[in-house]
Each structure stands twice: as C-alpha cells, then as structure tokens.
Chain A
Amino acid sequence: MGILSLEPISGWGRHPVSRAAVERPETLRLPEGDTPVLPRGLGRSYGDAAVPATPGGRVIETTRADRVLDFDPEAGILTCEAGLSLAEVLRVFLPRGWFPPVTPGTKFVTIGGCVACDVHGKNHHRDGSFGNFVERLTLQAADGRVIECGPTRERELFLGTVGGMGLTGLITEVTLRLQPVESAWMRVDTEPVSGLAAMMDGLRDAAQDWPYTVGWIDCLADGASLGRGLLMRGRHAARWEAPAHAPSEPRRIAVPLDAPEFLLSPVLMRLFNSAYYRAHTRRRRAVAIVPYQGFFYPLDAVAGWNRLYGPRGFLQYQCVVPRAAGAGAVAALLERLAASGAASFLAVIKDCGPEADAYLSFPLEGTTLALDLPYRGPATEALVHQLNAMVIAAGGRVYLAKDAVTRAEDFARMTPRLAEWRRVRDRWDPERRFRSAQSVRVLGDQA
C-alpha cells in the first residue's frame, strides 16, 4: 500500500488527540521489520492507551479481524480473533443462551481489548475480571514469533498480557468461557441511598446475594448528602420470569456535534444530578425485569456520547482503594471532587473482589470510583494528581484503560507488581516495539 496517510486518533475521552498511520488488517500479523506498533481495538479506552507513542506512529486496528474460530455449544467455550466485539458476541451467542462472563459498561469493545485492559464489570465482587475466564491467548511477539499462552502455558507471558495494555505483543486469538443464561432479560432492583456509608453498606450486603451490583453517586452533593445516589442490584432473569420474546435492540440516537461547554457548567450539572436523583427517589425501591442492554450498556444507546463533553474532551478518572482504607478514603475523594467543582454527569461506585494474578490488573479488594471530568487543561490535570496522591496514600491505584495524565512516579507507587511485569516485557519485547503514548508517560518508554 505504500505510505499510509495519517488519521486523527484519540481515546474515547478525546484527550489527548494525536495522528496515526492506521492499518485495518483482516488477518492480524505484525508488519515486517521492527517498526514500533500499537494494537488498538474499538478505541473505547478513555485516555492515551491506544494512542501511538509519537504522532504519525503505526497503529494496528484489530476490528476487521473478527472471525469466530470455534464454539463449543455444550461448554460455551469461544475461540475468536481478537478484533471480535462484545456486541457481536451478544448478537450471535445470547440468542443461544450464552453471555460474556464479564462485561464493561459498553459492548463496543473488542475481545482483545478486554484482555489487554483486563476489564471488569458489575460482577467483579463475585467473578473477578475478564482474565479469569480466558483459557488461551495467541500472541505475536515483537520478533514475529507466534506464541500460545494461558493460565498453565507460558504463564508469565499470560499474566503480563492480561491487563498489559497491548504492550507485550499483538493478541491475535482468544479462547474464553462464556456463561450460560436463561434469558436476555435482567431482574433489577434499584434503591435510593441517602449517603456514602449507606451506599457502601448496601453494596457489601447486596454482594452476598446478587451477581451484579453497582451504585450511582451524585458527586456534586456534599455535606450530609455526600455519596447519595442509587444502588442497583441485578441478576439474569430466569426463563419463567422473563418475557417470552427477546428484548428489541434499542434505537440508537447520535450526538451530531460537540456540545457547547456552558452545558457542563457546575450549576447546570448540579441541577441535572439533583433532578436525576429526585426522579428516582419518588419510589423507595423499584424491582423490574428490564432488557440486558439498559442494565449493562445504558450509554451505548447514545452514539458518540463523548461529544457531550465538548471539543476539549474529558478525562475519566477511575481509582480503587483497598477495603482496609475504609469509607474515610472514599469520602475524602468525593469531598475533594465536590470542593473542586469539577462537574460530572455520572460517578459510579462499586465494590471489587480479590485482585487477579495478572501483574497490571486494575481491580483489588475494595471500592472503586469512576467519574468523568470535563478537560479544562492544567487545572483538571492538577486535580487528578491530587486525587492520585490520596489514592496512593490509601494503598490504591488507577485504571490504565481510563487514564490520560498519571505521572510515571505515581504509577510506580500504585503498582506493586510492576517489576514482575517489566521482566516479562524485557523478555518478550526488549526493544519496546510495542509502545503507546501511555507507555511513554507512565513507563518511561522512549517517545
């Protein structure tokens, strides 16, 4: 094809924006030679994880490599090329009674991306993260060798690749276990919660009986209302309680333009959050059978919702603090956010189960918070650094799939198993052929 023209490229948060030479191969193969490359899926990581290390860098977009290679209908074991999306897995396999074992808040992610970020979902307290369900990976290493790895085969490479942000090699094939479900409907129980302590207690109590739990927090509320929000618990509806028909695919609306920034002013955001909270507190507790899309992927109904944050984009901040740090650490983070006036549509709170063996996997046993911060330059970055300092003090960490500004020294303090991961990378990619804008920033790779 000759010289590739450059495309603008960014994460879902649309900050930072760079340019890249993007390839979309139908069969995943590294280019000959030793040119630096970066694998990228559907571009739903928020920050700079799928942005090349240097403007004009080469990006291998995996989305065209989306074939199902094998499916065992008895055991639900799926082998596919890494660019297959969760949306496609759901479209093809949910009618046959199989559901992804772990899903993030959007279905527009590739299976390879789910592995590389070791994504987690509303069932983390019970099932852990995505890597727990991966039986085998095929990877093309920096020198071109094709390697198979898994929990019992080339285990160190496997543990470095799950959550390894695509920096250990090009993931080409994945074998994973789907979970059987009786219907495409969810039984969901929603309850208003008046404050943070009640929210954290509610999440912990619900974890005993419910496979899926999550809380929504109005993070602009402070004082006695700090941490108020909605607690949602869900499980896959049994055949007898679900409607006989499959839920229809929701109509997607699209955001055609970047929203003007005044819509994100703290005053309007405060009004929006309050109205949302009050709308749900009229009924004390609501139990409903709802389509799976509304429970797992509410934002997928709005194509290009990231444009609502305006032309400068936004940062999504997600951290986890260990249970030992207690509610105080979470309260301190929320207070800091409320004081900053950094508006957010949505803050999500969730309790996590034990951490995975994968070296860079994000979740650890404790509480995770995720929220959007409209990007306003150095002030927003300074706020993230302050929040990071609090997270480090509490023994927590941030999620690389969301991150765009964390400093290398802070990342090292958050990542106790970084040395083990670096050893894997030294073995499989000593020249750092795989690198990203994020790896330059948090790992000190050469730009």
Chain B
Amino acid sequence: MKAAVVGATRGMGRAVARLLAERGDAVALLGRDAAELETSARDLSARGARGTIATGHLDLAEPTEFSAALDRADQALGGLDTLVVTAGDFAAQDALERDAERLGRLLDVNFTATAVLCQLAAERFAARGGGTVCAFSSVAGDRARRSNYLYGASKAGLSAFLEGLGLAYADRHVRVICVRPGFVKTGMTAGLPVPPFAGEPDDVARVVVRALDRGTPVVYAPSIWRWVMLPIRLLPRAIMRRVRF
C-alpha cells in the first residue's frame, strides 16, 4: 500500500500511520506543521518502518493546494494508491453557536474541504485503475443531537458524501471507506466528559487498517460503537426532545 495520511501527526492519524509503516507500507504524512511532520516521520523511521516515509504540506483550509500536495505525495512514494483523511476540526457546541465565523470554518474543513480532497483523489485513482479513499467521519453524524448538532451536521454531510462517492466510483475500482469513530481519548477530545466505551487511538487504527485491507465501506471504531449507535439512530424524535438528548 502507498498511502497518504492527512492529519498523521496527531491522535488517530498518528496511530494509523504507525500501523501502516510498521507492516511495511509506504506512507506520506501530510499536514500543516512542517516540524511536527518531521518529528512524526522520525518516529516512524526509528520504530523500524521498512517502506518509504515522506512528508508534505497540506492544509485543509487551502483546497486550491490539494492537487499539488497529492502530486508531491505521489512522486515521493512512487505512485499513490490510498488516501486516508483523519484531520478535521472540532469545537464545543456553545463556541460554535456564538461564533458564526468559527462555525463556518468548521463546516468548511470537515465537509467542504474533505469532500473536495476525497473527490480529487477518487478521480485520480479511477484514472489509473483504482485505489482507496478513506475519511474519518464520526458517530456524531449518525444522529443529530441538541448538544453537538453543528459538529454532527458537518460529519453527517461527510458520511453522505462518502456513501455516494463509494457508489459512484465502485465500477472504476475505487473503494471508499467511511470511518465513524465513537468517543476516542485524543488531544482533540481532552476536556470533554468521557462517556462509556471511550476508545484509544490504537484501537481505532487497528479497525481502520483492517477496513483498508478489506475495503469495508463503513466502519465504526472501536467496533462497539456500531451497537451503541443503533438504538440512538432509532430513538423517536419525541423521546429525544423529552429527555433533552
């Protein structure tokens, strides 16, 4: 596998990049902070990565740069066949409610930019015979809740996009994977109340790498979140309103 991982220096992206590198896949770490990317690349090399490890600049806030970033990753790895987008934006609901600009930025990064990047990659992979596009959505996109519907909406849009992308490119051998992490204890979620079934980045990474190998269209990570979300998805709206969920 020759994979570009966006958001590979932190949290779940770091864990996914490690698993891929450890088993010999070539990995391009894409992100905003050159020093952090370099440190993460050293981490993978020192841990004994056998495949090529490269780094490159990609900022989800700059969609016009995406094509060049994919070109560079493609060159560095000698042909890219997998894109994993773990990066995303997050803010607490109350901050988003009060700050329209902040909300716009979050929606742009989590939906618009991620969709543009995935679409671009799918088209490239299709043109050369196939590949895999994997992006991190969230269980928050499975059902809107009053406490996090703004973040949830950005992820619901992304989930819908990925489902459509998978259907549209299946005939051209592009596999599309939508990862829906539950609550995972990372830097991004620090300070939020930790719910039951909270996962670790390594748990998520194992699920994601298995999905990359198998081409599973939708995976919950850790897996138990599929069953946690099932009743939540089915809960009647009247009850959601009454219990203030």
Report A's interface with B, CB cutoff 8 A: 1-5, 7, 21-27, 64, 67-71, 92, 96
Report A-chain residues with C-beta under 8 Å of the C-beta of B10. Answer: 26
The reply on B50 being an interface residue by CB < 8 A is: no
Contact of A24 with B186 in the complex, beta carbons under 8 Å: yes
Contact of B193 with A26 in the complex, beta carbons under 8 Å: no
Can you list 20 A-B contacts (CB < 8 A)? A1-B92, A2-B92, A2-B95, A4-B191, A5-B192, A21-B191, A22-B190, A24-B190, A25-B187, A26-B14, A26-B186, A26-B187, A27-B36, A64-B11, A64-B187, A67-B14, A68-B43, A69-B46, A70-B46, A92-B47
The reply on B42 being an interface residue by CB < 8 A is: yes
Docked Cα-Cα span, A223 to B186, in Å, equals 53
Q: In the complex, which of the residues B10, B39, B190 has the most CB atoms of chain A within 10 Å of its own CB atom?
A: B190
- 8 tightest A-B CB contacts, nearest first: A4-B191, A67-B43, A68-B46, A71-B46, A24-B190, A5-B193, A26-B10, A26-B187
Report A-chain residues with C-beta under 8 Å of the C-beta of B114. Answer: none
Report B-chain residues with C-beta under 8 Å of the C-beta of A71. Answer: 46
The reply on B94 being an interface residue by CB < 8 A is: yes
**Chain B nearest Cβ from A203, distance in angstroms:** 38
Report A-chain residues with C-beta under 8 Å of the C-beta of B92. Answer: 1-2
Q: In the complex, which of the residues B47, B191, B193 has the most CB atoms of chain A within 10 Å of its own CB atom?
A: B191
Report B-chain residues with C-beta under 8 Å of the C-beta of A21. Answer: 191
Docked Cα-Cα span, A67 to B94, in Å, equals 33
Contact of B47 with A7 in the complex, beta carbons under 8 Å: no
Contact of A68 with B42 in the complex, beta carbons under 8 Å: yes
Known: A67-B42, A68-B46. A1 touches B11 (CB 8 A): no
Docked Cα-Cα span, A23 to B185, in Å, equals 10
Q: Which of A3, A5, A67, A70 contacts B40 (CB 8 A)?
A: A67
The reply on B132 being an interface residue by CB < 8 A is: no
User: What's the tally of chain B residues with a CB closer than 8 Å to chain A?
Assistant: 24
Q: Which of A2, A25, A64, A96 contacts B48 (CB 8 A)?
A: A96
Contact of A7 with B46 in the complex, beta carbons under 8 Å: no
Nearest B residue to A95 by beta-carbon distance? B48
Docked Cα-Cα span, A5 to B187, in Å, equals 14
**Chain A nearest Cβ from B204, distance in angstroms:** 13
The reply on B82 being an interface residue by CB < 8 A is: no
Docked Cα-Cα span, A4 to B186, in Å, equals 14
Docked Cα-Cα span, A70 to B42, in Å, equals 7
Docked Cα-Cα span, A106 to B3, in Å, equals 35
**Chain A nearest Cβ from B235, distance in angstroms:** 24
Report B-chain residues with C-beta under 8 Å of the C-beta of A64. Answer: 11, 186-187, 201
**Chain B nearest Cβ from A92, distance in angstroms:** 5
Q: In the complex, which of the residues A4, A5, A21, A24 has the most CB atoms of chain B within 10 Å of its own CB atom?
A: A24
The reply on B9 being an interface residue by CB < 8 A is: yes
Report A-chain residues with C-beta under 8 Å of the C-beta of B11. Answer: 26, 64
Nearest A residue to B10 by beta-carbon distance? A26
Docked Cα-Cα span, A159 to B39, in Å, equals 28
Please report which residues of chain B, range 1-50, place their CB below 8 angstroms from some CB of chain A when the two chains form the complex.
Answer: 9-11, 14, 36, 39-40, 42-43, 46-48
Docked Cα-Cα span, A7 to B198, in Å, equals 13
Report A-chain residues with C-beta under 8 Å of the C-beta of B46. Answer: 68-71
The reply on B194 being an interface residue by CB < 8 A is: yes
Contact of A23 with B48 in the complex, beta carbons under 8 Å: no
Apart from A4-B190, A68-B43, list 19 A-B contacts with CB within 8 A: A1-B92, A1-B191, A2-B92, A2-B191, A5-B193, A7-B194, A23-B190, A24-B185, A24-B186, A24-B190, A26-B9, A26-B11, A64-B11, A67-B42, A68-B46, A69-B39, A71-B46, A92-B47, A92-B48
**Chain B nearest Cβ from A446, distance in angstroms:** 25
Docked Cα-Cα span, A7 to B43, in Å, equals 30
**Chain B nearest Cβ from A158, distance in angstroms:** 24
Q: In the complex, which of the residues A7, A64, A67 has the most CB atoms of chain B within 10 Å of its own CB atom?
A: A67
Nearest B residue to A88 by beta-carbon distance? B47
Report A-chain residues with C-beta under 8 Å of the C-beta of B187. Answer: 23-26, 64
Nearest A residue to B189 by beta-carbon distance? A24
Docked Cα-Cα span, A24 to B42, in Å, equals 21
Report A-chain residues with C-beta under 8 Å of the C-beta of B94. Answer: 2
Report B-chain residues with C-beta under 8 Å of the C-beta of A1. Answer: 92, 190-191
Docked Cα-Cα span, A67 to B14, in Å, equals 9
Report B-chain residues with C-beta under 8 Å of the C-beta of A96. Answer: 48
**Chain B nearest Cβ from A394, distance in angstroms:** 44
**Chain A nearest Cβ from B179, distance in angstroms:** 19
Docked Cα-Cα span, A34 to B172, in Å, equals 57
Docked Cα-Cα span, A4 to B40, in Å, equals 27
**Chain B nearest Cβ from A431, distance in angstroms:** 24
Report A-chain residues with C-beta under 8 Å of the C-beta of B193. Answer: 5
Report A-chain residues with C-beta under 8 Å of the C-beta of B201. Answer: 64
Docked Cα-Cα span, A24 to B201, in Å, equals 12
Report A-chain residues with C-beta under 8 Å of the C-beta of B190. Answer: 1, 4, 22-25
Chain A proximity mask over B156-191: 1 for CB below 8 Å, otherwise 0: 000000000000000000000000000001110011
